[in-house]
Amino acid sequence: MSRQQHFGWFLARGFGPHGWGHPSLDWDYDWTSPALYQQAVRTLEQAGFDLLIIEDAPSLGSASTIDLRVRQAFGGPKLDPLLLAPYLFAATERIGIVPTVNPAAYLPYTAARQFATLQHLSGHRLGLNVVTDTGSARHFGTAPQLGHDAAYDRAEEWTSAVVALWRSWPEGALIAHPDAGRYADGALLQPTRHRGEYFSFDGPLNAIPFTDGAPVIVSPGGSPRGLGFAGANSDVQLALAPMTEQSVRAYRGRIHDAAIAAGRSPDDITILFAIQPTVVSSAEEADRLVAASHHPDDDVLRRIAERQSSDLETDLTGLDLDRPLDRGIFGEHVSHGSIQRLIGTHDEDASLREILTAHARLGRIRDGSGWVGTAVELADRIEEYGAWGNDGVLLWGDLHPVTVHRTLDELVPILRRRGILRREYEPTLRANLRPF
Ligand SMILES: Cc1cc2nc3c(=O)[nH]c(=O)nc-3n(C[C@H](O)[C@H](O)[C@H](O)COP(=O)(O)O)c2cc1C
């Protein structure tokens, strides 16, 4: 029997204009209406997925580059996924819903109270994807923007403050038994006075304790500081890494070491590796798609340039495709890592066409060169990850019902027959995430 694994879906680019630029736009879904997301999340629940994670960035980025973000809706607008969550809980019974939250945007007391409310309302199915995007700081006050590691320090203080507030109602404080004639014992509540570097407040929290555990903490950062955060705080780590045995085992080892260093057990953290497959109906179709991607036309390259321009806050769309890319066009705010991801292994003389063509190029799941393949080929790969000791995978994409069906229709029965994908849910998200 194959090893059973956990499955998540990552709604990349968040709660935004869904379907814009999508080949299935004329299905006429309204991205501002909950119906689209409710329909898709019901399918994910039927498929046995543990959770849906919704990306977010609260900001449109720096003032001078807003148009790059919004003109093809790659970087905004985005509505708040925390407020979408109740609609998704109402449409489902078992799947976990994980909005992204940024500690810059919520005071710990407000956060602890709102998340406690959703945890109760959802029957203990809430998770929080805690991110440390620093670019949005200017929307939330006048404090200067934090650096990379300082943002993690603040996120760590924020997370432990939120958890301390959730624990401010200890065992026995809530009585709520008619015979006792008393709802709660206020003398037992913990004052929870917090005086930290970034936050100062007094508790206790004005919310009752959880019967089945606190909301699940999720984190995606892969830097040494990000892994340290995960080791100390996270129940789920979202991993982005080359999907080779060596790299998967090494990443898992780093997270496990971070957990042990923080006094926790490796089993306390479920690691989901992010993958973005394109599932097609036959090997011939996969071969055709891959072959065509080696010779992208200018329209395809312009679309890639639009996406890169949004992500890098630098306009690449007006540049001559056949001239070398001048690296001086990137502003100070663009990280070297992001520029490096665009350029890859190309040298100074490489034209923009060559650089973008490398991003257009697809590969086959079967030989590990990319993510195009049949459902059987994808299931084979996922099964292999299980043999390497992997906990689970995170499928990355939009949440358009067409995408969800195209990806899962054939895959789910295959994974079920092989015993890789759950058939039954536990009562809470936390219980679903336990090691199999
Ligand atoms: C699977 C995945 C999901 C992410 N989701 C978000 C998100 O929703 N919002 C966000 O601002 N950053 C998101 N990030 C970026 C991370 O929060 C982080 O900024 C990035 O990984 C850099 O952090 P690091 O230097 O610790 O790796 C995501 C990253 C990954 C790999």
Say if CB 132 and CB 145 are below 8 A apart: no
Sequence-distant (≥ 6) Cβ neighbours of residue 338 within 8 angstroms: 311, 312
**The two structure tokens encoding residue 252:** 């898992």
9, 54, 60, 133: which to mutate for ligand 1, most atoms within 8 A of CB?
133
Question: What is the β-pairing status of strands 51-54 and 96-101?
Answer: parallel
Q: Is the dihedral of CA 346, 350, 355, 361 positive or negative?
A: negative
Atom of ligand 1 nearest to the CA of 224: 26
Using a 10 angstrom Cβ sphere, with 0-12 exposed, 13-18 middle and 19 or more buried, the burial of residue 422 is buried
346 is in an annotated binding site: no
Distance 78 CA to ligand 1 centre (A): 16
Domain with CATH 3.20.20.30 in the chain: 6-169+195-278+374-432
| Ligand 1, atom 6: closest residue by C-alpha | 55
DSSP string, 391-413: -EEEEEE---HHHHHHHHTTHHH
Q: Which of 220-239 are b and which e, b meaning 16 or more Cβ less than 10 Å from the residue's Cβ?
A: bbbeebbbbbbbbbbbbbbb
Distance 131 CA to ligand 1 centre (A): 6
State how far the Cα of 101 lies from the Cα of 140, in Å rounded to an integer.
Answer: 14
State how far the Cα of 247 lies from the Cα of 407, in Å rounded to an integer.
Answer: 25
State how far the Cα of 45 lies from the Cα of 55, in Å rounded to an integer.
Answer: 19
148 is in an annotated binding site: yes
Say if CB 259 and CB 341 are below 8 A apart: no
Distance 269 CA to ligand 1 centre (A): 17
Could you give the C-alpha distances from 17 to 70, 78, 311, in angstroms and in order?
A: 10, 8, 16
Comparing CA positions, the residue from 363, 383, 216, 388 lying closest to residue 276 is 363
Tokens 């194959």 belong to: 2
- Residue-by-residue pLDDT tens, the chain, 436 positions: 699 999 999 999 999 998 898 888 899 999 999 999 999 999 999 999 999 999 999 999 888 889 999 999 999 999 999 999 999 999 999 999 999 999 999 999 999 999 999 999 999 999 999 999 888 888 998 788 899 999 999 999 999 999 999 999 999 999 999 999 999 999 999 999 999 999 999 999 999 999 999 999 999 999 999 999 999 999 999 999 999 999 999 999 999 999 999 999 999 999 999 999 999 999 999 999 999 999 999 999 999 999 999 999 999 999 999 999 998 999 887 888 899 999 999 999 999 999 999 999 999 999 999 999 999 999 999 999 999 999 999 999 999 999 999 999 999 999 999 999 999 999 999 999 999 9
13, 82, 101, 131: which to mutate for ligand 1, most atoms within 8 A of CB?
131
Could you give the C-alpha distances from 55 to 98, 100, 214, 268, 285, in angstroms and in order?
A: 9, 6, 21, 23, 31
State how far the Cα of 124 lies from the Cα of 116, in Å rounded to an integer.
Answer: 9
| Ligand 1, atom 30: closest residue by C-alpha | 220
Say if CB 401 and CB 389 are below 8 A apart: no
Residues with CB under 6 A from ligand 1: 10, 55-57, 100, 129, 131-133, 148, 220-223, 225-226, 238, 240, 274
| Ligand 1, atom 21: closest residue by C-alpha | 221
Distance 221 CA to ligand 1 centre (A): 5
- Cis amide leading into 77 (omega within 30): yes
DSSP string, 121-181: HTTS-BEEEE----TTGGGG-SSPPP-HHHHHHHHHHHHHHHHHHHTTS-TTSEEEEGGGT
- Cis amide leading into 204 (omega within 30): yes
Q: Is the dihedral of CA 21, 27, 32, 34 positive or negative?
A: negative
pTM of this prediction exceeds 0.95: yes
| Ligand 1, atom 13: closest residue by C-alpha | 131
223 is in an annotated binding site: yes
Q: Which CATH class is domain 6-169+195-278+374-432?
A: alpha beta
- Residue 299 burial (CB count, 10 A): 7
Say if CB 83 and CB 54 are below 8 A apart: no
